[in-house]
Amino acid sequence: MPKIKIKNPIVDINGDEMARVIWDKIKESLIKPFLEINLLEFDLSIINRNITDDKITVAAAKAIKKNNVGVKCATITPDDKRITEYNLKRKFPSPNGTIRNILNGTIFREPIIIKNIPKIVNHWNESVVIARHAFGDIYKSKEISVKKKGKLTLKFESKDKKEVIEETIFEFDSPGVGISYFNIDSSIVDFALSCFNFALNRKIPLFLSTKNTILQKYDERFKNIFQEIYEDKFQSKFKQNNITFQHRLIDDMVACIMKWSGGFIWACKNYDGDVMSDLVAQGYGSLGLMTSVLQSPDGNIIETEAAHGTITSHYRQHQNGLETSTNPIASIFAWTRALSHRAKLDKNVDLKKFSKKLEDVCIKILENGTMTKDLALMVGPEQKWVNTNQLFEIIKNKLEN
């Protein structure tokens, strides 16, 4: 079979532990035999981040910015135990955080739906895609403990000192706590643009949730910015594609999500997204079927990955020479989503077909009852499972035919 030629490169970010073992298998058995592709490889293993003093992470992010498409393997975010394990110079920050800050994007988490794998929320037949505004609010807050009687105020003073806004928050008679936080229009605008572009690209409706009945300035700002951008730039395109945008109260939205069967994007404020992404992931059942896409506001730059981590427990078995039954599907879909974005930008029809075919092959194999242990356990005691190498062999054979 002749290989499909791909004109422009893809940034390939390698990572750690079991996720890395799977990463190399995907490239060797499912990518390189079929595609003539220039992979710009960045090794973000904890060992190489330590050697390069984390400069490799910044270089990888810049390469994604330049080439528009990146695909990333899970990486270790070091804690104190990892510092000892790898004898690290310092506690390097999460690469995902560093890359997100440089690309200034929004993360969209999306499950892969397989008919015969039971979900905890049974009627979620299509994906609920969660978009989290990962800036500001409580994550950039300042809090205080109050011990004595006194007044808590919120004060803004303009740089030229000509404008002062001051509000009394509370008169304390007894001990308590207080907090203040903020957000900025430009970040909300970027978030909104990312969400509208993602919805348009995927042709699925978008919902924004806030609590603007209580936060009539703060959350109202989110609502208004989304509405203005929608009317200005997206309304007619949404209509053409038969999709909708709607603001809903967060409490109404959580009720809807339990009633509806999926097939939409839910744009969440920072804390809501933190909490709800875990709730939705659990509702679909398996981390091995959860994907994650970081997308720039204009929709042109994306970085894709599996939502799970480096799967340390399986790596320990692998190090001991044992076979593991680790689910590679989310990582394979990180590749297919990156390839399909490359195909879209390059107008490469063959590549688009290939990425769709690889996804279909994976889904069909699982639906025919060949799967890894994590999924088999969800199906039930009768369901057999295969190990990772066997599954790769089966996927590759089916793809070749």
**Of 28-36, 185-193, 260-268, 301-309: span binding ligand NAP (CB under 6 A):** 301-309
At 380 the three-state DSSP class reads coil
Q: How is residue 377 written in tokens?
A: 């356990």
| Position 313 contacts ligand NAP (CB under 6 A) | yes
Q: Closest distance between ligand NAP and the C-beta of residue 318, in Å?
A: 12
DSSP 29: I
Which does residue 374 touch among ligand NAP, Mg ion, none (CB within 5 to 8 A, set by kind)? ligand NAP
Give yes or no for a contact between 245 and 196, defined as CB atoms under 8 angstroms apart.
yes
> E-assigned strands of 96-163?
106-111, 128-132, 142-146, 150-157
| DSSP secondary structure, 300-318, as one string | --EEEEESS---HHHHHHH
Least distance between Mg ion and beta carbon 140 (Å): 17
* 3-class secondary structure, 363: helix
Task: Label residues 182-205 b or e (16+ Cβ within 10 Å = b).
Answer: ebeeebbebbbbbbbbbbbebebb
R_g of the chain computed on alpha carbons: 23
Site for ligand NAP in 65-124 (CB under 6 A): 74-77, 96
Q: Among Mg ion, ligand NAP, none, what does residue 313 contact (CB within 5–8 Å per kind)?
A: ligand NAP
Considering beta carbons, is residue 37 or 294 the nearer one to ligand NAP? 294
The residue within the footprint of ligand NAP, chosen from 14, 336, 374, 376 (CB under 6 A), is 374
Question: Among ligand NAP, Mg ion, none, what does residue 288 contact (CB within 5–8 Å per kind)?
Answer: ligand NAP
Judged by beta carbon distances under 5 to 8 A according to partner kind, the member of Mg ion, ligand NAP, none in contact with residue 219 is none
CB 321 within 8 A of CB 305: no
For residue 73, the cross-strand partners are none
220 or 274, CB closer to Mg ion? 274
Q: Determine contact, residues 194/106, Cβ cutoff 8 Å.
A: yes
Residue 308 near ligand NAP by CB under 6 A:
yes
20 in contact with ligand NAP (CB under 6 A): no
Q: Is 221 helix (H, G, I), strand (E, B) or coil?
A: helix
Neighbours of 22 (CB within 10 A): 27
Phi, psi values for residue 192, rounded to 5°: -60, -45
Cβ contacts of 56 within 8 Å, gap of 6 or more: 42, 43, 44, 48, 49
| 14 contributes a contact to ligand NAP by CB under 6 A | no
CB 277 within 8 A of CB 132: yes
Q: Which does 247 bind (CB under 5 to 8 A by kind): ligand NAP, Mg ion, none?
A: none
Whichever of 27 and 308 has its CB closer to ligand NAP, that residue is 308
Shortest CA distance to 69 belongs to which of 2, 17, 7, 5? 7
Kindly state whether residue 295 participates in binding ligand NAP, applying the rule CB under 6 A.
no
Instruction: Decide whether 270 or 296 has the Cβ nearer to Mg ion.
Output: 270
Nearer to ligand NAP, 6 or 44 (CB): 44
When binding is defined by CB under 6 A, the residue of 193, 311, 334, 395 that contacts ligand NAP is: 311
Q: Are 124 and 283 in contact (CB under 8 A)?
A: yes
Choosing among ligand NAP, Mg ion, none, which partner's interface includes residue 183 (Cβ < 5 to 8 Å by kind)? none
Number of residues that bind ligand NAP (CB under 6 A): 17
**105: which 2 tokens?**
């994007």
User: What mask of x and - would describe binding to ligand NAP in positions 275 to 294, judged by CB under 6 A?
Assistant: ------------xx------
Q: Which one of 113-121, 141-149, 304-312, 358-366 is the stretch in contact with ligand NAP (CB under 6 A)?
A: 304-312
Between 278 and 323, name the residue whose CB sits nearer to Mg ion.
Answer: 278
Residue number with CB closer to ligand NAP (38 or 94): 94
Residues found near ligand NAP in the complex (CB under 6 A) = 74-77, 96, 287-288, 305, 308-313, 326-327, 374
